[in-house]
């Protein structure tokens, strides 16, 4: 694993939020490198800066200072459209609240990143269906998100995150809204995709969930306080 390509490299990453009470430092200098194919769980108490960090990794937000290289590219040097392309092709983001578009069928939801990539209608539909089948929801392709359960919605969101074959999956508490049984199913999916070579970074509060990963990074008060390898899914 030591020689593999570095997907994420952050150095001295700082993020301060402007609040009414002045600048609030949510990240106080974070260094981390994640290699291709890794499966990382990020843990830490509430307010320790995990989501802040994930949003920076996902190119949804910009750091106050520090460097972020994603797949070898300096993210700070990219303009808005280049960041959009990165979010479209390189990163798949999975949210705690699923974030499906409520008026669109599941198939259209999954296909949306392909639309922004400019993929034609037929291959787009074929690919979206393929992903829906993959997460076991092929028969609901034409349904609206409101017609299926939370766990199923999260599976659709994972299908959407993967539809453009990204190098990296970022998931901020993907099981936070789900019961433990459903959570296990979702984690099984992440494990499956990780074994196919996709790098996975996920945030969780639950040790059970974190144990699916092979590396655990712990945040406290805007800093990384521990970073250790674990047994992974076998554990």
Ligand X SMILES: Nc1ncnc2c1ncn2[C@@H]1O[C@H](COP(=O)(O)OP(=O)(O)OP(=O)(O)O)[C@@H](O)[C@H]1O
Q: Phi and psi (nearest 5°) for 45? A: -70, 165
CA triple 211-166-161, angle to 5 deg: 70
Residue 219 in contact with other proteins, rule: CB under 8 A: no
Residue 99 in contact with Mg ion, rule: CB under 5 A: no
What is d(CA 54, CA 31) in angstroms, rounded to the nearest whole number? 13
Which CB, 99 or 177, lies closer to other proteins? 99
Which CB, 50 or 87, lies closer to ligand X? 50
CB 9 within 8 A of CB 18: no
Q: Which of 49, 58, 151, 174 binds ligand X (CB under 6 A)?
A: 49
3-state secondary structure at position 39: strand
Find the shortest distance in angstroms from Cβ 174 to ligand X: 13
Q: Phi and psi (nearest 5°) for 37? A: 90, -5
Residue 204 in contact with ligand X, rule: CB under 6 A: no
Sign (positive/negative) of CA torsion 144, 146, 152, 155?
positive
Residue 164 in contact with other proteins, rule: CB under 8 A: yes
Return the C-alpha torsion angle 67, 229, 38, 202, nearest 10.
-70
Residue 10 in contact with other proteins, rule: CB under 8 A: no
Residue 229 in contact with ligand X, rule: CB under 6 A: no
Residue 167 in contact with other proteins, rule: CB under 8 A: no
Q: Which of 32, 39, 50, 202 binds ligand X (CB under 6 A)?
A: 50
Token reading at 96: 């705690």
Which CB, 51 or 182, lies closer to ligand X? 51
| Nearest of 77, 81, 167 to residue 116 by alpha carbon | 81
| Nearest of 148, 123, 125, 126 to residue 137 by alpha carbon | 148
Residue 48 in contact with ligand X, rule: CB under 6 A: yes
Q: Which of 51, 55, 99, 105 binds Mg ion (CB under 5 A)?
A: 51
Q: Which of 93, 140, 190, 219 binds other proteins (CB under 8 A)?
A: 93
Binding site for other proteins (CB under 8 A): 55, 58, 60-61, 80-81, 84-85, 87-89, 93, 95, 99, 101, 103-104, 112-113, 115-118, 120-121, 160-161, 164
């Amino acid at each position: 694993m030591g020689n593999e390509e570095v997907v994420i490299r952050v150095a001295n990453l700082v993020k301060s939020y402007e609040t009414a009470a002045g600048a609030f430092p949510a990240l106080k200098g974070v260094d981390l490198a994640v290699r291709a194919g890794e499966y990382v769980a990020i843990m830490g108490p509430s307010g320790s800066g995990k989501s802040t960090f994930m949003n920076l990794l996902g190119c949804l937000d910009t750091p106050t200072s520090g460097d972020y290289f994603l797949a070898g590219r300096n993210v700070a040097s990219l303009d808005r459209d280049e960041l959009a392309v990165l979010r479209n092709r390189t990163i798949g983001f999975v949210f705690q609240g699923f974030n499906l578009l409520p008026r669109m069928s599941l198939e259209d939801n999954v296909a949306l990143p392909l639309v922004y990539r400019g993929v034609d209608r037929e291959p787009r539909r074929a690919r979206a269906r393929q992903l829906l089948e993959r997460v076991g929801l092929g028969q609901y392709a034409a349904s609206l998100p409101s017609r299926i359960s939370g766990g199923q919605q999260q599976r659709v969101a994972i299908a959407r995150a993967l539809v453009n074959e990204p190098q990296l999956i970022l998931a901020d508490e993907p099981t936070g809204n789900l019961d433990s049984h459903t959570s296990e199913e979702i984690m099984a999916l992440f494990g499956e995709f990780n074994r196919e070579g996709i790098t996975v970074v996920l945030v969780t509060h639950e040790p059970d969930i974190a144990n699916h990963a092979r590396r655990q990074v712990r945040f406290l008060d805007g800093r990384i306080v521990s970073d250790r390898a674990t047994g992974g899914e076998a554990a």
